[in-house]
Every structure is written in C-alpha cells, then in structure tokens.
Structure 1
C-alpha cells in the first residue's frame, strides 16, 4: 500500500511513514498519520553518527560504490533566492534525469533550502531508499536509511494546499511539525488520499515537469520488507542521485 516521508501504512492503509531529514540522530516512527518517518518507533531504531553507509539497499549483484556527504550545518541557510524568479532542479540519477519545477513563491524557505543543498552537492549519491508501491519514492538522506539530514531543520510551509497528485514533490519529516531538513518524496500516483487535507502535514515545494517516466522506473524497482521497520518499501536495486543542477529563469 501506500520513514523519514510519513508514518507507515501498515495497518489497513492507516500508516504512511516518510523520512524527514533531521541532522541529529533520531527515532523515526511510522504510522497512519505521519507519512515522513522511515524508521518504526516500535523497532527502536536510532541513527548512528557512524551510519553514513550509502549502500543500505542491496542489489542482486555488483552494488554500486556510493559516497555521500558528511557535511553538516548548525542552522538553516540564509534566504538567497529571488521568489520572483523561476527555479528548476534537474535531477540526474543512474536511472535517467527528471526536472522539478520548484515553487519559490509559495514555499520560499523550503525551496531556498533545497537550492542551497543542491548547490553544495549534498544530494550526491543519496539513494531512493524508500519505495512504496502506488504511492511515492523517497530520497535526500545522506545516511540512505531515513535517519539523516543537514544538521538543522526548517519550518513547515503549509499555507497553500493543492492536491497531492502524481509528480508532486514534498518534504519528509519526523512526524512532528517543523522537522524537515533534506529528505523529500515524490508522489507516483494521483490517488494519494492519505496525504490530502486534513492529513497534509508535508510541505509541497515542487512538481516533476519532465522525466516522470524516470521516476516511474525508480518506483517500479522491486521491494522487500525493510529489516528495521518491516515496511514493504526496501528496494532490491539501488537508484541514486548523481547530482542536481539548479536552473534560474
């Protein structure tokens, strides 16, 4: 059905977990309400400072050698984007490229943060560590397991409420307000009812405008049960971000 993206939909579609990028070790819970955590609180999984292992997903043979960043910041970046301009993020992955049109007008803090991290190559070798069939794919964690982030959190921007439909990009979080950092998810189907009001606790900050077929290829990777959470979302092949280019118009 449909860890840090939201709480896990394990019991009768009730729970969806998305992992939000917090920069400090934290337990990520998954339940029907929180669609952002990647770790089941009942499992008691804690992020280790040394767990910057990029290869947490397992390929059948010859898994790629990935090297994610260890860079952290004490606070969120200063505002540097111009909300009057258009920002596109061209995401280069080992499955192909796709482009996210960023919503700088309605989610300026989140877009500013994303642009900052992209320009610092923070997303290099971050895997799509969580794939929930017919729902979403999640990435943006340098730990590649739902527990990592940039070292700080940013506030939610929920004033605008447009439907969570296929291609919408939103921040993951820990299930609590204002806990987004670097992790984000991409909706892969139109019917994402569990994310619609009043459950929309995730800042929408963009939409895939080209290359959705690449996202769909990633979403089609076979999955098994996550050894930490039990959630059926653990990819059996490694899709990862090579780099992200920011285009300003």
Structure 2
C-alpha cells in the first residue's frame, strides 16, 4: 500500500481550528488534548500517557471531518485517512491485514490517523450474525492496534452511528466529542460569516434552520450563485 494514497493533499484547504464552532464542553476537551501533545515530552518524564484516541460522533455534516483535518494542521502533523473503499476486502482476513498496515504507516510518521465511518469496521461483534466470525477477528485486531498505539500518534475516528460500535472499542477512546445540530443563533452567525465576503446585493437569502453547517453552506453557495447568474443574465438582456 502506497502511503501517498492516504495523505490529504497539501493543496486542500484546511479550516483553521479556531474558526470551527464547538460547544464549550468540546472546546475544553480539545484544548486539553492539544496541550498534552504540546507538552508530551514533559509528561513522559512523569510517566503520564497522552490521550491520543479521539472519537467524534453525532449528526452528519456538523464538522467531524473538518475537525480532524484542523487538528492535524494545528499539531503540524501529516494526516492519513483510512480509505475504506481500498481497505475492506472480501478475502478472509485481508481487511485486518490492510488496516494493520495503515496503522504501521501512521505510527512510523508520528501522524494523525483518521478513520471516517468507524462503525463500518468497528461494529458490535454479534451485530451481523452472517459474518460474526470475521467481524470478531476484525474488531479484535483493531483493539490490539489501538492498545499498542504510541503516544506520538493520534487516532481520530468519526461516526454517525456510535450505538452500533463495539463497547470494547468505545472504551479505548479517552476523549469523545459529540457533534449536534447548531442552534438558530449559531446558524445565523455561520450565515453571516459566509455572506460577509460577498457584495450586499448577494447577501439576501432565505435562511434555513434545523440543518447542519454543511447543509447551510451548500444553501448559501447555491443562493449566491443563483443571484450572480441572474445579474449576469440581466446584463445580456440589456445588450
């Protein structure tokens, strides 16, 4: 497996950590994690382990992937993304071997390893009776890999369905951040921050609520593009 297939391109825009919306509880937990990595050598002198297993769970589109990328950028670490499309194999035992190789790569680089849709490979070991044997072996492998993960490597897993993840796996994550839908006030602040970069002509739109940040962003871009096109079309009519 080529490690370059797992690295997020440096050309990809990363949202700075201080621009991501967090609840106060999540912000406090995240700040503690970042400080532990900053003073990791000092903590080692006292034989204190670093909390290096982080689970992001909750509603889709609320910033889990964005947060993982921002953490890696803040810590100045490479981020390796587990591509389930290339990792999961129909051959018996092959998936566990592939995942083991990914952990080895991330460990050698002291990197951030990000596993999205973690529930796909970390399901409760009797969740699927038809494939319980293979699933048990896979989950057992992941548990062992997590247990021997060195402090300098940060594992971040994300899921929209934490309830179906094996409890033994869940216990391995020292930190768990729950992502919920933003409130109306939070969405208004988000809308304002997105719209401020455009001329006032394009800032008027119907604001939707009860949706995720990702859905809100799509809504803003769609409405702004629509108004820009309308203006351009009106110029053509005048000609």
**The TM-score by the shorter chain falls in which range?**
under 0.3
Which structure has the greater CA radius of gyration?
2
TM-score (norm 2): 0.24
Higher strand fraction: Structure 1 or Structure 2? 1
Higher helix fraction: Structure 1 or Structure 2? 2
